[in-house]
Amino acid sequence: MTRSSVRVSNDGLREHAEALLGRPVERGALALSFAESSAANAEVLVEGESFYPRMLEDIAAAETTIHINQFGFRPGLVGDEFAEALLAKAAAGVAVRLVVDKQGSDPEGGARELYERLTAGGVEVCVVRATRFRVPDGLLGGGGEPRWNLRALGHIDHRKVVIVDGRIGWVGGAGIEDHFRDGRFHDLFVRVDGPVVAQLQLVFVASFRWLGGAIGVEELDALFPRLEAGEIPAVVLHNAPGRFRPITDAIAALLDGARETLDVVNPYVCDRKMIRRIESAARRGIDVRLFVPKDANNWACAAAQQHHHPALLDAGVRILEYPTMLHAKAFVRDCEELLAGTCNLEAWSLRRFFEIDLRLRSTAVAAQFDERFSAPAAAISTPGRALTGTKERARARLLATISPLL
């Protein structure tokens, strides 16, 4: 694969993981490229009231390992419930490991008490610290020697993944935080089982080792169990900081390759090139729906996006503004391909952050997405509009100009 990626065959996932266990792992090893695999089952779950209970059921049933990579894991009703579930499994002898982001989870600040309970109870935590020049190596609270952190500076870990026993994988846009359950933020997760979970597992192993965490070679059989091939073509796409950005490339290809219909669901749509691709799809006759929040929590990105509304509307794009903070990130092409995960349509996600998406080629999964997410969202959304006020338009034009910095 081009642009400095590490190509791993589906038959070589366990072997590649074993090679990572016995040596220091550099950031370049996280630029993993996978061939298409398969899922035995795939389910779209919308809103925290749907996906949190199912995640907790999977965690409660874990027998060997629980691996979680989470941008936002904070104290609260949801965070405390997850913490108790993880502590119970760690006490039962299940290996529980977390990778969290300092900015999103604040494990050494406001969430310190939560993380002290987790680490004291045997949960192993590694932290991505994108704003620190010097960071301790290894586990949170482990007293690791400080090391230079130059290659991680500015690269937030925005991923949201749960892997249980190497058999069940979750990928979505929500943190483990109350506002994803109480209706303030509207989001989703995709739950899969089958061979594609091994790709998620390898991404986690590589990330945990890069941060100095240890995994024993004797765990590999449990981490990478033999699973029967499924009928749903599936692949994990992982943006690690660097020149190899498979999610970014996949989004561009999906927008350019639509033949009949295209749904774009995203809270922060301000990348000029991606917006032009959406506009071009509509101009060549594709039925395009763009789902965005009516009142986004990032006003600068929202204003930059609104600068492009006249061109999008003129091209025939139907802009649907969801009444609460729509936070999901998904694309559906021609009712047959779903791409869902953590990547936003703004420069930081597309080019600088750690992001992870799952691509599924299935008319049944696409239909499920429409039934559970798109159709209900369209029913309560209002049409997007072009800005009319002089000050509004001037501000939006300025923010669109500097959108690569937003």
Closest alpha carbon to 273 in 294, 296, 256, 290: 256
Q: Taking the mean position of all CA atoms in its chain, how far away is CA 72?
A: 11
Query: CB 84: neighbour CB atoms within 10 A?
Result: 13
Beta bridge partners of 32: 6
Contact between 271 and 248 (Cβ < 8 Å): no
Give the model confidence (pLDDT) of 8-47 as tens digits.
999 999 999 999 998 999 989 999 999 999 999 999 999 9
Q: Residue 152's pLDDT is what?
A: 81
Contact between 20 and 206 (Cβ < 8 Å): yes
pLDDT of residue 145 exceeding 80, the answer is yes
Average pLDDT over residues 387-391: 89
Q: Residue 3's pLDDT is what?
A: 62
Average pLDDT, the chain: 95
Q: Taking the mean position of all CA atoms in its chain, how far away is CA 389?
A: 36
Q: Residue 1's pLDDT is what?
A: 43
Instruction: Name the pLDDT band for 222 (thresholds 50, 70, 90).
Output: very high
Domain boundaries, the chain: 6-230, 246-405
Query: CB 82: neighbour CB atoms within 10 A?
Result: 23
What class is the 246-405 domain? alpha beta
Rounded to whole angstroms, how far apart are CA atoms 72 and 159?
Answer: 9
Give the model confidence (pLDDT) of 232-248 as tens digits.
999 999 999 889 999 99
Which residues 6+ apart lie within 8 Å of 178 measured at CB? 76, 77, 78, 79
Instruction: Name the pLDDT band for 400 (thresholds 50, 70, 90).
Output: confident
- Locus of tokens 């249980």: 164
Average pLDDT over residues 227-231: 97
Rounded to whole angstroms, how far apart are CA atoms 162 and 179?
Answer: 19
Which percentage of the chain shows pLDDT scores above 70?
A: 99
Closest alpha carbon to 194 in 39, 334, 328, 86: 39
Helix (H, G, I), strand (E, B) or coil at 307: helix
Give the model confidence (pLDDT) of 305-323 as tens digits.
999 999 999 999 999 999 9
The alpha-carbon radius of gyration of the chain (Å, integer) is 20
Give the model confidence (pLDDT) of 336-387 as tens digits.
999 999 999 999 999 999 999 999 999 999 999 999 999 999 999 999 998 8
Q: Does domain 6-230 have CATH number 3.30.870.10?
A: yes
Q: Identical fold at 6-230 and 246-405?
A: yes
